[in-house]
Amino acid sequence: MATQLAFSTAFDAHDTADHPENADRTAVMMDELLLSPLSSRVAMVSPEVLPERLLYEVHSAEMIERVKDASVEGSWIDLDTYVSKGDYATARLAAGAVLQLCESVIGGRAENGFAMVRPPGHHASGERSMGFCLFNNAALAAHALSKRGRRVLLFDHDVHHGNGTQSIFYRRRDVLYMSFHLSPHYPGTGSVQEIGEGAGMGYTVNTPLGFGMGDEAVRLLFDEVFLPVAREFKPDLIIVSAGYDSHHADPLGGLRLTAGFFGEMVRRLQEVQPRLVCTLEGGYNLSWIGRCFLSQLGMLVGSPQVFEDEAVGSGSAQNLVRELKTVLSPYWRL
């Protein structure tokens, strides 16, 4: 079985050149891949459009119609989020690519996968497109799989909290959402106390990090919180919301992760469940996004990549770990 990579130049249609989330991001990533020996280790697949009926199971009709209408000529939904002409189809293609890879992995046709898609998705809630995101790609795939009795872990390492993903599954226990993110930072959600509601109590794990925290802080969170909870949950599949804006050089960031650490996170998640699919979220430094991507792709194909990249993080996550254990211990063995 191979690592599948879903990509299409159709995603380039979602583009506003003066916006940080533009087509140059995936162009740089593809250039890095083609120059890398990893290019021969992946199976490229053409994305399939997400069935419209699945959109309506996760997103409201009003939200979907708003994107449809904006797609006729192209317009802005809010100050951050644009809809290009024809984007209703482009956004469904992005969401469909993630589900397609997840189904390939679950079905045994691929070992794992990476969805190099745009627009991103983790800020899109059930009712609102926002934060550069139109529909929630990862959430749509997780929902579709959960309908078939699959347990899905959604792990989000974007520097911004995935408020949309959290809200979609906040009252559910078939999908576990985990996130580390900079706080305070956009969108202002993701406190330790946000752990779910009703049947979903304990199935949201938020680890807000202070400005400048880096690899060591996140490594401690993996050791003490993320991996113990993930092992107890026993996911059938892990979906990674791969946001590279948590890299130390990102202009929209504030954390200090190194390029190699992105691969380390994938490796450690694979120890819990090797069936894993990454989907592109943020990351806006065009000099580094390609290497962060290759760091994770290298782990997926079993050929770890090494990059010269150093960053010294500031601050300790010890107090955060203690707080997390207090809040989550009624639900997990920590």
Structure confidence at residue 16 as a pLDDT band (50, 70, 90): confident
pLDDT of residue 171: 98
pLDDT of residue 259: 98
Strand pairing report for 82-83 and 75-76: antiparallel
- Report CA Rg, the chain: 18
SS3 226: helix
Q: What is the pLDDT of residues 64-107, one digit of tens each?
A: 999 999 999 999 999 999 999 999 999 999 999 999 999 999 99
Q: What is the mean pLDDT of residues 300-311?
A: 96
- CA separation, residue 193 to residues 177, 181, 225 (Å): 14, 14, 15
Spatial distance between the Cα atoms of 105 and 92, rounded to a whole number of angstroms: 20
Ramachandran angles phi, psi of 82, nearest 5°: -110, 155
Tokens 């959604």 locate to 154
Spatial distance between the Cα atoms of 77 and 168, rounded to a whole number of angstroms: 20
Q: What is the mean pLDDT of residues 143-166?
A: 98
User: Residue 247: beta bridge partners?
Assistant: 257
Question: In the chain, what percentage of residues exceed pLDDT 70?
Answer: 100
Record the pTM.
0.98
Query: Two tokens at 66?
Result: 């708003």
Q: What is the pLDDT of residues 176-186, one digit of tens each?
A: 999 999 999 99
Chain-centroid distance, C-alpha 56: 21
Longest CA pairwise span in the chain (Å): 52
Spatial distance between the Cα atoms of 179 and 158, rounded to a whole number of angstroms: 8
User: Which of 225, 209, 240 shows the shortest CA–CA distance to 331?
Assistant: 225
Q: What is the pLDDT of residues 148-157, one digit of tens each?
A: 999 999 999 9
Catalytic-role residue among 122, 123, 160, 161: 123
Q: Residue 247, class by beta-carbon neighbours within 10 Å (0-12 exposed, 13-18 middle, 19+ buried)?
A: buried
The pLDDT of residue 305 is above 80: yes
pLDDT of residue 53: 97
Count CB atoms within 10 A of the CB of residue 141: 30
Provide the b/e sequence for 272-295 (b: ≥16 CB within 10 Å). bbebbbbbbbbbbbbebbbbbbbb
What is the average pLDDT score of the chain? 97
Count CB atoms within 10 A of the CB of residue 198: 9
Spatial distance between the Cα atoms of 269 and 283, rounded to a whole number of angstroms: 21
Structure confidence at residue 274 as a pLDDT band (50, 70, 90): very high
Structure confidence at residue 17 as a pLDDT band (50, 70, 90): confident
pLDDT of residue 296: 98
Spatial distance between the Cα atoms of 250 and 295, rounded to a whole number of angstroms: 16
Eight-state DSSP code of residue 78:
S
Query: Is 3-328 in CATH node 3.40.800.20?
Result: yes
Spatial distance between the Cα atoms of 99 and 162, rounded to a whole number of angstroms: 18
Spatial distance between the Cα atoms of 205 and 324, rounded to a whole number of angstroms: 8
User: Which of 46, 106, 118, 150 shows the shortest CA–CA distance to 276?
Assistant: 106
Tokens 């996140």 locate to 218
Residue 123 falls in the annotated catalytic set: yes
The pLDDT of residue 35 is above 80: yes
Annotated domain spans of the chain: 3-328
pLDDT of residue 128: 98
